[in-house]
Chain A
């Protein structure tokens, strides 16, 4: 899949750039702080490698921008030609919220009238009723896991989840490769010392 190798390259470049920005500034960081920075760089690099083509990446970047400490990092990683412009992000989030709110109002009015007609779930539809409730519950959980999921309808949520999973896999692969390479180099270095 050539799209995932392109994403791999983009993510790797941006992540390493971000690591150089954060980890080289203070050399005496404790392990926990460095870990948070590594993870933050990885998330921002992953989202910016998408270049505003998906909702979850836009939501991730706007979430990161809320913290002022991250501003330098985000601006550096996004670059001057990125499509994550402030106006687009705000406009898209607002339109999503409005769409969801109007849908909710419509659904409420429809369900109230339906409830008044049916006195209880008919036995023939009980299985379907339970299945629907389950799907709704699980969808809500997924909404919390995918960044920006709360303002998505079911269809886009599944589409975004597909893309998010593929991107997360790329992230895990690159990070694992770097960790393994670092470990190998560490071991070889320490073995050289004892020769």
Chain B
């Protein structure tokens, strides 16, 4: 049995539990919310769930911003001075 177990772990890279815990805590720091409360009560499944929620909300924000930009740009003529101002400001 021990040989089978060692075979299983050597088929991929040897990843320690500590490394996974470190990654999850890093992930937790990225998530929005009260940082002080979260530092101690981190369970992997909760962090993963909030990560999924956060990624979904970021996707939604990108979508909304694209919508907003599309509507704004449709009211600007491409050759107007405003469009060139925007381009020169940012570039």
CB within 8 Å of B: which residues of A?
12-13, 16, 20, 23-24, 27, 29, 31-32, 34-36, 38-39, 42, 99, 102-103, 106-107, 110, 131, 134-135, 137-139, 141-142, 145-146, 153-155, 158-159, 161-162, 164-166, 168-169, 171-172, 175-176, 178-179, 181-183, 185-186, 189
Question: Are B91 and A16 in contact (CB-based, < 8 A)?
Answer: yes
Q: Does B44 contact A (CB under 8 A)?
A: yes
Question: Are B87 and A141 in contact (CB-based, < 8 A)?
Answer: no
Question: Are B66 and A39 in contact (CB-based, < 8 A)?
Answer: yes
Q: Does B71 contact A (CB under 8 A)?
A: yes
Docked pose: A139 CA to B72 CA in angstroms:
38
If over half of B's interface residues share one DSSP class (helix, strand or loop), that class is named, otherwise mixed; here it is helix
Q: Which residue of B lies closest to A183 (CB)?
A: B72
Question: Are B55 and A34 in contact (CB-based, < 8 A)?
Answer: no
A sample of 9 inter-chain contacts (CB < 8 A) reads A13-B91, A34-B74, A35-B69, A103-B12, A138-B48, A165-B30, A165-B55, A181-B89, A186-B82
With known contacts A42-B62, A161-B55, A186-B76, A138–B45 Cβ distance under 8 A: yes
Docked pose: A35 CA to B4 CA in angstroms:
53
Question: Are A169 and B58 in contact (CB-based, < 8 A)?
Answer: yes
Which one, A142, A154, A155, A185, contacts B85 given CB within 8 A?
Answer: A185
Q: Which B63-91 residues have a C-beta within 8 angstroms of A? A: 63, 65-76, 78, 82, 85-87, 89-91
Residue of B24, B70, B71 with most partner-chain A CB within 10 A: B70
Bin the interface of chain B by size.
35 or more
Question: Are A23 and B73 in contact (CB-based, < 8 A)?
Answer: yes
Docked pose: A38 CA to B23 CA in angstroms:
33
Contacts of A146 in B (CB 8 A): 55
Which one, B8, B45, B51, B71, contacts A131 given CB within 8 A?
Answer: B45
If over half of A's interface residues share one DSSP class (helix, strand or loop), that class is named, otherwise mixed; here it is helix
Question: Are B4 and A142 in contact (CB-based, < 8 A)?
Answer: no
Question: Are B82 and A168 in contact (CB-based, < 8 A)?
Answer: no
Which one, B19, B49, B65, contacts A155 given CB within 8 A?
Answer: B19
Question: Are B55 and A175 in contact (CB-based, < 8 A)?
Answer: no
Question: Are B74 and A168 in contact (CB-based, < 8 A)?
Answer: no
Question: Are B45 and A145 in contact (CB-based, < 8 A)?
Answer: no
Question: Are A142 and B66 in contact (CB-based, < 8 A)?
Answer: no
Question: Are A182 and B73 in contact (CB-based, < 8 A)?
Answer: yes
With known contacts A16-B90, A186-B82, A34–B70 Cβ distance under 8 A: yes
Q: How far is the CB of A99 from chain B (nearest CB, A)?
A: 7
